[in-house]
Chains A and B, each alone.
Chain A
Amino acid sequence: MAPLVEVRDLTKEFRSFKRREGVWGAVQNLFVREYVTVRAVDRVSFAIEAGEMVGYIGANGAGKSTTIKMLTGILMPTSGTVVAAGWVPYRDRRRYTRQIGVVFGQRTQLWWDIAVVESFKLLKEIYEISDADYRSRLGLFAEILNLGEYMHTPVRKLSLGERMRCDLAASLLHNPPLLFLDEPTIGLDVVAKERIREFLKEVNRSQRTTVLLTTHDLSDIEELSRRILIIDKGRILFDGDLAEMKKRLAQYNQVKFFLKDRSQIPRLAEVTTNGLGLERVDELTYLMRFDRAKHSSADVIRTLVNRLEIRDLFVEEEPIEEIVKRIYLSGEVA
């Protein structure tokens, strides 16, 4: 069977005219326009199978939102192709949108000045949802997302987290097979994030809803998706299993240790002799990084406990944030 979403050599260029500064610049702007072309998405290709949950990450301005806008049929690609749920999103936009749910974390699809439930009623008519489905889905969402209290409040009076939960419910009322989320956890507190993640997992599990989400919070990815796509300057740098990425790209492990007391501090110099890096967390807490290929954790621990008096220690893998930071900074998958 063909994948649910298939993207090939997708490219989007924005042409915007360069504004000159100052009064003279403004006059020049009127007559001579100099255009600059930004390639926001550059020959991106990937495929998503039905039921997958894929995390799409990348630094600010990498091209995530632009990709999502093309996948949802809002923007016309400059070149390349998208086929999703059997449609070409841009060309068949109105029919295609019945198959998808979309949340842009920075915006709302709910009517600003009227009670949330009115927006839900409108969606019911737009997607021709039967009374029974509407009632049971809304009931369920209200329960899992804890919407009850907010449904009769105008959106403008909701907090960001409350609004986001309502938007998520709105995007799933018609039970679309395909869900696009652009930063669905932006600005949310830990509890709200957790609730949204649980909800997404549940929808993905019980409905086999396929989800593509962008985020800057890597714990979203760790909790939700096994597969990640990393984009940088419009190009895909990595596409694969999260665990696979860690295995391939994690360069070091680290031992986090706590000194017994201050008397140990001068002796720290002794442990860094054989090329092991040391990073200070606070006065008594330190991180020792070591290349997994060159040193074994056991050796490193032995060195530490032989030379220092240590209260406690943990061995950790390189955090995914660090791996990703390295990728963003170097612009390549080493």
Chain B
Amino acid sequence: MGSNAFAAPPLARSPALLPLALRPYAELVRMGFVDTLAYRLRYYTGIATYFIYVSVYYFIWKAIYEHGTSIEGFDFSQIMTYVAVGWIIRSLYFNNIDQDLATQVTEGTLVMNLIKPVNLQGALIATALGQSVFRLVMLTVPTTLLLFLVFPVRRPASLAHFAAFSVSVALSFFIVAALNFAVGTLAIRLLSILGLLRAKYFLLELLSGLLLPISFFPHGFQVALDFLPFQYISYVPLLIYLGKLSGGAAWRALGIQIFWVLALVALGHAMWQWSSRKITVQGG
């Protein structure tokens, strides 16, 4: 072993250029992608599940629209597009960071992340991003093709709307990821948060606008939701897709999304700092 294998001093660090500092996280994106390959079978059932969800909503909305042409400014083809595209983008922004973190806390595997010179928040979000990229190929694309073939789904309002919509969905991913991390850190102090996570899951489906456009909610409720990040996950990108948000309003919506990403990342970071001194590792 006397060779020069260890010749370079371990401390020789290049100046912390941004791209270099980001390389571990880029690698984690790749790991997330590769890791998900092991479970690719899951995605065939995923496609079926999403198809079934959208079918159920199709029949419900069809029944509701039998006697009117427009509700809260949505006609039938718009509401169907809202539902179908809503589920399509859910397949992209969805992630399990909260559950991952909770499991890591209860199983003690969090230790293995703590002994690495990486930012845990960044690492978990990067890995989730890799998984989302994987789902884009395995789940989002086939689901999109299937839904567009079977249901009367509209195309985006315009190319510009589609571009803004794409950016908006990317931001949705980061809102959900940052939110999930912040919620996940609660596991450190509370230890068992599975009940909490279930509640959060359903609340998010409702408040994000996935199940129902926010404009269908009671007025007071809508006003309250304006001050919360949830509608920026699903409702806002869908409005852009449908052309109900354009120009200045669309730019403003994207700006608010960016604000929520930053605010939730900061919240998660603060919660991590606050909790990590309370870490008690189980077992070992």
Pick from B26-34, B81-89, B167-175, B232-240 the stretch touching chain A: B26-34
Q: Closest Cβ of chain B: how far from A182's Cβ, in Å?
A: 7
Asked if A136 and B3 sit within 8 Å, CB to CB, the answer is: yes
Of the candidates A65, A98, A122, A140, the one having the most CB atoms from chain B within 10 angstroms of its own CB is: A122
Q: Mark B23-42, 1 if CB is under 8 A from A, else 0.
A: 11011100100110111000
- B34 contacts across to A, CB distance below 8 A: 114, 118
CA distance A170 to B231 in the complex (A): 43
B residues in contact with A69, CB < 8 Å: 111, 281, 284
- The docked-state distance in angstroms from the alpha carbon of A95 to that of B35 is 27
Given the interface pairs A72-B115, A97-B116, the reply to whether A206 lies near B283 with Cβ below 8 Å is no
The answer to whether residues A74 and B10 also contact, given A97-B115, A97-B117, A137-B5 and a CB cut-off of 8 A, is: no
Residue B112 contacts which of A14, A107, A128 (CB distance < 8 angstroms)? A107
Residues of B within 8 A of A107 (CB): 108-109, 111-112, 284
Given A98-B10, A182-B284, A76 and B277 contact (CB-CB distance below 8 Å): yes
B4 partner, pick from A76, A136, A174, beta carbons under 8 A: A136
Let me know if A130 is at the binding interface, CB within 8 A.
yes
Cβ–Cβ contact A75 & B115, under 8 A: no
If the complex has contacts A95-B117, A137-B5, are A154 and B14 also in contact, measured as CB distance less than 8 A? no
- 8 A Cβ contacts from A113-141 to B: 113-114, 118, 121-122, 125-128, 130, 132-133, 136-137, 139-140
Q: In the complex, A206 Cα to B6 Cα: how many Å?
A: 9
CB <8 Å contact, A111 and B111: no
Q: Which of B7, B14, B114 contacts A93 (CB 8 A)?
A: B114
Nearest-Cβ distance from residue A143 to partner chain B, whole angstroms: 9
Closest to B113 in A: A109
CA distance A109 to B39 in the complex (A): 20
CB neighbours of B14 from chain A (8 A): 128
* A325, B13: Cα distance in complex, Å: 47
For the complex formed, measure the closest distance between the CB of B8 and the CB atoms of chain A, giving whole angstroms. Answer: 5
Cβ of B18 under 8 Å from chain A: no
**In the complex, A109 Cα to B26 Cα: how many Å?**
19
A100 vs B280: C-alpha distance when bound (angstroms): 21
Chain B nearest Cβ from A38, distance in angstroms = 11
Whether B119 sits at the interface, judged by CB under 8 Å, is yes
Q: Which residues of B contact A175 (CB under 8 A)?
A: 6, 8, 10
Contact with B along A144-179 (1 / 0, CB 8 A): 100000000010000000000000000000111100
Nearest B-chain residue to A133, judged by Cβ: B8
Q: Mark B9-26, 1 if CB is under 8 A from A, else 0.
A: 011011000001001101
Expressed in whole angstroms, the Cα–Cα distance for A133 and B13 within the complex equals 13
With beta carbons under 8 angstroms apart, the residue of B5, B6, B115 that contacts A100 is B115
* Residue B1 lies at the interface, judged by CB distance under 8 Å to chain A: yes
Chain B residue at smallest Cβ distance from A143: B1
> Is A264's CB within 8 Å of the partner chain B?
no
* B residues near A98, Cβ cutoff 8 Å: 10-11, 117
B27 touches A203 (CB 8 A): no
Least distance between B58 CB and chain A CB atoms (Å): 36
The docked-state distance in angstroms from the alpha carbon of A174 to that of B109 is 21
Q: Does A73 contact B (CB under 8 A)?
A: yes
> Which of A10-55 touch B at CB < 8 Å?
14
| CB pair B117 A126 closer than 8 Å | yes
A104 within 8 A of B: yes
| Residues of A close to B284: CB separation below 8 A | 65, 69, 104, 106-107, 182
- List B contacts of A262 (CB < 8 A): none
For A74, give its contact among B35, B117, B281 (CB under 8 Å).
Answer: B281
Interface residue? A207 (CB, 8 A):
yes
> A109–B115 Cα gap in the complex (Å)?
9
Residues on A with C-beta less than 8 A from B111 are 69, 74, 104, 107
Most A Cβ at <10 Å: residue of B6, B108, B283: B6
Are B20's CB and A128's CB within 8 A?
yes
A74 touches B115 (CB 8 A): yes
User: A-B pairs with the 7 shortest C-beta distances?
Assistant: A113-B38, A125-B27, A136-B5, A126-B24, A109-B112, A102-B115, A97-B117
Please give the residue numbers on chain B whose beta carbons come within 8 Å of chain A beta carbons, in ascending order: 1-8, 10-11, 13-14, 20, 23-24, 26-28, 31, 34-35, 37-39, 108-109, 111-112, 114-119, 277, 279-281, 283-284
Residue pairs across A and B with Cβ atoms less than 8 A apart, 16 shown, are: A69-B111, A72-B115, A74-B279, A94-B118, A99-B10, A100-B115, A107-B108, A107-B284, A109-B116, A113-B39, A114-B35, A125-B26, A126-B27, A174-B10, A176-B10, A207-B6
